[in-house]
Chain A
Amino acid sequence: MSEFFAMGGHAAYIWSSYGLAALVLLALLLVSLRGLRRQQALLAALETAHPSRRRRRQTAEEGLAAPGAPARSGAHAPAGEGGLS
């Protein structure tokens, strides 16, 4: 066992290579995962703080258009829900 860790006298070079590889790869993984989580939290906070402007305007238009012109609000509806979500 100790012979395995000694690596023929080159332990310092070999184990620091493997250690550094583990360190770099794990650090990049953790930083990437944390970054994604932080951005998702920020987006969720923004969306709850300011509900979509598009949706607000749409409901306002529907409110206005309701008595007179149903065709107009119908024309707007498909364009409203876009690919953003």
Chain B
Amino acid sequence: MHRFANPARFLRLAALILPWAAGLAVVCFAAGLYMALLDSPADYQQGQTVRIMYIHVPAAWMAMFVYTSMAVAAATALVWKHPLAEVYARAAAPLGAGFTLLCLVTGSLWGAPMWGTWWVWDARLTSMLILFFLYLGFMALVNAFDDPERGNRAGCILLLVGVVNIPIIKFSVDWWNTLHQPASVFRMGGPSIHPDMLWPLAVMAIAFKAYFVAVVIVRIRSELVARKIQALRLTQVASAAE
């Protein structure tokens, strides 16, 4: 029974957090879109296209954050057999894949007018594409086994192996020559972008994070109900066999 104690406690906590996260996401998206589209200045080099940044950069941060959190969950699942860790990884994966896709496509839409190309096979873009495939691979792998325990185990190992990609993405702009501009927010010596652009970016980043928290809670609840259905079916099969 102690196996279910943690999910039960989690569900109580999640019910408290969900309305706040959803509300914060709505408020921050409204404020962030206003600031990003109307209140912030055009860039002196990139003109209006700089507004793509307010989608592209939060999506990229979330893509890396979600993957890192899934890798931590995978380690927790493998070492301590925490029952919620695998559930979290399964619930978060489609969201992380969505953020990565957004980052790649908006980056392309930004690159076309500013770099003169939709895509280059340089380190930053390629490592981000690999991250997208890691998400898809994880989602395919966990559902590829008849026994969900084996699927989860294989998925956790994939997550841990793939985490090597995260520092490669982060430092790719420093380690290799690339069209992609270097970090301008999380860098030594503080952000190098003007507060008029930093604020909308921060608000949009909070909106993305709050959105993720709200939706991942919904998805975890769904996964837990699915597990309960599975357990119920197993006991019914067992009682029918008696």
Complex CA–CA separation, A83 to B224 (angstroms): 13
Task: Contacts A13-B52, A25-B211, A42-B229 given; indicate if A82 touches B106 (C-beta within 8 A).
Answer: no
Complex CA–CA separation, A69 to B179 (angstroms): 81
Note all chain B residues with C-beta closer than 8 A to A65. Answer: none
Inter-chain contact A47/B232, CB cutoff 8 Å:
yes
Task: Contacts A36-B218, A84-B231 given; indicate if A13 touches B110 (C-beta within 8 A).
Answer: yes
Complex CA–CA separation, A72 to B110 (angstroms): 72
Inter-chain contact A18/B55, CB cutoff 8 Å:
yes
Note all chain B residues with C-beta closer than 8 A to A17. Answer: 52, 55-56, 105-106, 109-110
Interface size on A, residues (CB 8 A): 33
Q: Is the interface of A mostly helix, strand, loop or mixed?
A: helix
Residues 12-52 of chain A, each 1 if its beta carbon lies under 8 Å from chain B, else 0: 01101110110011011101110110011011001100100
Partner of A83, one of B1, B51, B218: B1
Complex CA–CA separation, A53 to B232 (angstroms): 9
Partner of A14, one of B1, B4, B52, B94: B52
Complex CA–CA separation, A10 to B110 (angstroms): 10
Partner of A20, one of B102, B219, B232: B102
Closest B residue, CB atoms, query A54: B235
Inter-chain contact A53/B239, CB cutoff 8 Å:
yes
Task: Contacts A13-B52, A33-B218, A35-B219 given; indicate if A53 touches B236 (C-beta within 8 A).
Answer: yes
Complex CA–CA separation, A83 to B231 (angstroms): 13
Closest B residue, CB atoms, query A34: B222
Most A CB contacts (10 A, CB to CB) among B8, B55, B59, B235 go to B55
Inter-chain contact A50/B98, CB cutoff 8 Å:
no
Q: 8 Å CB contacts to A: which residues of B204-242?
A: 211, 215, 218-219, 221-222, 225-226, 228-229, 231-233, 235-236, 239
Q: Residues of B at under 8 Å CB distance from A?
A: 1-2, 4-5, 8, 33, 37-38, 42, 47-49, 51-52, 55-56, 59, 94-95, 98, 101-102, 105-106, 109-110, 112-113, 211, 215, 218-219, 221-222, 225-226, 228-229, 231-233, 235-236, 239
| Inter-chain pairs besides A13-B52, A50-B236, 8 sampled, C-beta below 8 Å | A7-B48, A8-B42, A8-B49, A10-B49, A17-B55, A40-B225, A46-B232, A47-B232
